[in-house]
Amino acid sequence: MKSQPGAKKPEISELSRIKDRVTFLYLEHAKLNRQDSAIVVADSKGTVFVPAAIISVLMLGPGVDVTHRAMELMGDSGMSVVWVGERGVRQYAHGRSLNHSSLLTEAQAKLVSNTQSRLAVARKMYQMRFPNEDVSKLSMQQLRGKEGARVRRVYRQQSERTNVPWSRREYNPDDFNSGTPINQALTAAHQALYGLSYSVIVALGASPALGFVHTGHDLAFVYDFADLYKADYSIPVAFSIASQYSENDDIGAHTRLAMRDAFTDGKLMIRMVADLKALLGIKTENEADIVNLWDDRLGLQKFGVQYTEYEGNDKR
């Protein structure tokens, strides 16, 4: 078979380089194809070539046509692909990322399946938000109350900093434009943060569905993880944008650009990778692409071996 042009498929060990990528790119009303190792994006304004290996998550909005060859390149380069609504404020579907290792998923499933270990991870998450306080003895109810007070305080402080009036968080996921400028900015900022959080989670091989604080949703862990960074990223950015633009401007677009700049300047992906592994108790640098067979007595056994019939005494 004739080899196809383009970049060599990355090795699993290259996943750590996610920290060096552009965080996300949002596209709408465009046609996507492939040329060598680049995604070709064509719309009414012209054509641009986007190197696939530099993007962490690609958000595809309304009116996007994408070819099979383009999707093949995205998958091979480890790019997470998310199909979203207009201005990126709703997620409808996602494409599988590069990592084939189950190491983080198994650790996550083990932790979330036991009440004590699940509570311990949840407390870790809250401890990250209260570094100067000991929350190790607090119940989930106490932690939720403490977190609610913290978030209200953050909103109040950002309102005072930017002189943007603030009353409460309210939005209609089916009607982005019905919200006030600050609520529109918060929706767009949080969605960008969710996209980046999702990208890091799946790229490293964890499950976006197995949440420790949130539960019952296929993105429960994404909400858990993103909440760790809202006070430092999406909330301040949203208030800054709302202070600069009016409801007649494209608040969503301005917010996404500001979030992308904040992600790059703050090296958030480096922090996310370290935080995710710490929360799940993973200390290895790289997760190998290895398949084993499980055995209740002998431990992990080699995959791809033609085993002979076992004739020993089974005393189970």
Taking the whole predicted model, whether its pTM rises above 0.85 is answered as no
pLDDT of residue 55: 81
pLDDT of residue 18: 56
The pLDDT tens digits of the residues spanning 101-149 come to 778 899 999 999 999 999 999 999 999 999 999 999 999 999 999 999 9
Average pLDDT, the chain: 82
Domain over 12-94 is classified CATH 3.40.640.10: no
Confidence of residue 316 (pLDDT cuts 50, 70, 90): very low
Annotated binding site: 147, 214, 227
Annotated binding site for Mn(2+): 147, 214, 227
pLDDT of residue 264: 75
State the Cα–Cα distance between residues 315 and 13, nearest whole angstrom: 42
Residues of the chain with CATH 1.20.120.920: 103-279
**Residue 122 — φ and ψ, nearest 5°?**
-60, -40
Question: Has residue 152 got a pLDDT over 50?
Answer: yes
Mean pLDDT for the stretch of residues 8-29: 62
Classified by CATH at the fold level, domain 103-279 comes out as: Four Helix Bundle (Hemerythrin (Met), subunit A) (1.20.120)
Q: Extract the tokens encoding 22.
A: 């552009």
State the DSSP string of 82-110.
EEE-GGG--EEEE---S----HHHHHHHH
DSSP H helical segments within the chain, as ranges? 68-76, 103-112, 115-129, 140-162, 181-203, 220-226, 234-244, 251-266, 268-279
In the chain, % of residues over pLDDT 90 = 42
Let me know the angle formed at the C-alpha of 302 by 301 and 308, rounded to the nearest 5 degrees. Answer: 85
**Residue 229 — φ and ψ, nearest 5°?**
-120, 0
State the Cα–Cα distance between residues 111 and 162, nearest whole angstrom: 41
State the Cα–Cα distance between residues 184 and 285, nearest whole angstrom: 39
Spatial CA neighbour of 28 closest among 43, 18, 13, 50: 43
The pLDDT tens digits of the residues spanning 169-221 come to 887 777 777 788 999 999 999 988 998 898 788 878 899 999 999 999 988 99
Mean pLDDT for the stretch of residues 2-19: 49
Residues of the chain with CATH 3.100.10.20: 12-94
